[in-house]
Amino acid sequence: MTRFAAPISEQIWNMKYRFRNGDAGDASVEDSWRRIARALAVAEAEPALWEERFYHALEDFKFLPAGRITAGAGTARKVTLFNCFVMGTVPDDMGGIFDGLREAALTMQQGGGIGYDFSTIRPKGAEVKGVSADASGPLSFMDVWDAMCRTIMSAGSRRGAMMATMRCDHPDIEAFIAAKSDPARLRMFNLSVLITDAFMEAVKADGPWDLQFGGKVYHTVQARDLWNRIMQATYDYAEPGVIFIDRINAANNLAYCETIAATNPCGEQPLPPYGACLLGSINLARLVAEPFAAGARVDEAALDDLVRVAVRMMDNVVDVSGFPLPAQAAEAQAKRRIGLGVTGLADALLMVGLRYGSDAAVQQTEAWLHAIARAAYLASVDLAREKGAFPLFDRDAYLASGTMQTMDADVRAAVAEHGIRNALLTSIAPTGTISLYAGNVSSGIEPVFAYSYTRKVLQKDGSRTEEEVIDYAVQMWRDRMGDAPLPEHFVNAQTLPPEDHVKMQAAAQKWVDSSISKTINCPEDISFEAFKNVYLQAWDLGCKGCTTYRPNAVTGSVLSVSETTDKAPGETRGDVPATGGEVVYMSEPLDRPKELEGATYKLKWPDSNHAIYVTVNDIVLGGHRRPFEVFINSKNMEHYAWTVALTRMISAVFRRGGDVSFVVEELKAVFDPRGGAWMQGKYVPSILAAIGGVLEQHMVQIGFLAGEGMGLKEDPHAQVAGQDSPRKSPACPACGQYDMRMIEGCMTCASCGHSKCA
């Protein structure tokens, strides 16, 4: 018997979370749970006792630590178990800026997503004293960060994710707002504008707004005009997001000892300089008793117990995890911040008979999140009695914070008497991959995206098998009710009005002390005025930020999923039709034949004393030749480490199959801040870009690519099956399939779970 509810869940575990180390690795998911439980119990005085309690919490996917913990705990790998970092304040000088760049690289190298506030860098054109030059502005340095991020594979498996913020009164804010209109620029960044209370007041009053830096006013604009620019950019290409920064700082439990100016990549963790936070989610879908029956409910006793154990586990992560930088370790130890959230909320609502976004669902969501907050805070108080409060705890200042003033009286009394172990405790994080691993439960507090889709899996022998990937609650309905049509309260992201998204976010935010990763899906034909009203609704209802997604020409549309709606209610959803959801995905790497054909190319970089030799070997599948592995050799030992790493990573991608042409695109986009070189009449921005050019040349010669700068010529193993219309969604950079969806503020692949923000 397998613990996995769906084949895709086991495949996700096998690819992303299973620890492979011979006989000492994870033979089963039970081994993974045991590994995590044992690693986190080390921090306890009675580790054997707590290992069993931790294991029980993990069992059957009830508590889902975030991917860094699930993949890294107990493996002895040099990766951080923390998900979220905001880096130190960027100083307004060249040396400090590049010191910050180095710190960012070290953090992403260990698997952390990072946030930066670029408001501290002087605007473009400002005087740089002592060098007789004008400043290039924060966006020029963001380009450097973006290039650095492209070259780093975080934790050996994915690129780092970054968030850039800028204050709404910075003189370069208009350029920041427009940056993503170029689809090739700042691709490694999510962007958000820090919106102040004063700005929102000026918007509503249609008043003037000064853009200033260092006490000098550079421009004055109309606040409403600037707001409309933000809205138009988001309407056209989904960025920037909006962060209500004054609201965040006013509510922060730690307002007495920190100021927040940035968030992690998905926005659910506002953090101070060098702030760090770890994430985990309660799977509400696993806690519903008597699903779909008249007495369906979340088991409150089980929820309370699970939350208390989860808080203890996450608190222990602070002590057992490594950190990329000493400053991050010191910050985490001083405040012991954790981010406990939920996933499977929409599925749980379906199971108890509530329509996502309805008034009843809003009330129930608030009640569940209130129960979780109470249990989490009281558990942290108990930990403070046992192990001590967080070092920077100041009773009177802590209780005076905005969040604590709204907390229940008995919780406030307990904190006043005993202190609290963790300064902040709750957050709603992105759970895209983790949710697939847990049986394809609905992600975070998002609605169900699609009830089902067909996934085509390419096997090693070239044959394909089909799998239907079904939402967890829908599968449970089928198991209990057979072919009975889905009830009317079953709704999904394809049909839900934006206002219902906002209501649900606001209901959850009331009892979340950090913030929420949530995407408000808007129809492509929504009017601009209606779109702007979504953001004003989010402000009026008390949200800390707002992220929308409207299909657009720059980022592409999400994969269309059709739900038949032209029949009478109750007749439309019995077989849950879905179109456009078929994908081809390589389940395991291809085996290497004993002999392969290939070619070797000599590459002479102008500033190097030795040539680089690039060898590309190919495999034939279905009569078509495609790249399979890469080797790079040079006598220059300076290049040895990175060339070995590069070839291993590129070869691993090639062996997964699918559309791997993105490797060429990514390499060719890398530029070296020290300068590139002219080669054969073309400017090549870096040696990595030159290698990308060699790979592209080879792919064109073997007929894999149609030509330089062009896509696939013909590759039946990478096509999207059953999709005759033009592809609307971008290709997944991990598996090459056209199944990317905007979920929780980040494009996420429904086929393999890849997300640059996860």
**Residue 177 maps to a domain:** yes
Examine the fold and report which residue of 213, 236, 251 is the final residue of a domain before the chain moves on: 251
**Residue 132 maps to a domain:** yes
Examine the fold and report which residue of 230, 251, 272 is the final residue of a domain before the chain moves on: 251
Catalytic residue positions, numbered: 264, 266, 268
pTM of the model: 0.79
In sequence order, what are the residues at sequence separation of 6 or more whose Cβ sits closer than 8 angstroms to the Cβ of residue 458? 464, 584, 585, 586, 587, 657, 717
- Listed residue (489, 517, 519) closest to 359, CA to CA: 489
- As a whole number of angstroms, the distance between CA 604 and CA 426 comes to 54
- As a whole number of angstroms, the distance between CA 661 and CA 347 comes to 37
**Residue 332 maps to a domain:** no
- As a whole number of angstroms, the distance between CA 546 and CA 183 comes to 22
**Residue 6 maps to a domain:** no
- Listed residue (457, 514, 557) closest to 272, CA to CA: 514
pLDDT, tens digit, 9 for 90 and up, residues 501-519: 999 999 999 999 999 999 9
Which residues span the domain enclosing 704? 597-718
How would you classify residue 185: left for phi > 0, otherwise alpha for psi between -120 and 50, otherwise beta?
beta
> Which stretch of DSSP H or E encloses residue 194?
strand 189-195
Examine the fold and report which residue of 224, 251, 278 is the final residue of a domain before the chain moves on: 251
**Residue 189 maps to a domain:** yes
Give me 247's structure tokens: 């609201």
**Residue 620 maps to a domain:** yes
**Residue 540 maps to a domain:** no
Burial zone of 214 (CB within 10 Å; 0-12 exposed, 13-18 middle, 19+ buried)? exposed
Number of separate domains in the chain: 2
- As a whole number of angstroms, the distance between CA 65 and CA 102 comes to 29
| Residues in the chain where the model's pLDDT stays below 50 | 153-158, 558-587, 715-728
Give the pLDDT of residue 639: 64
**Residue 365 maps to a domain:** no
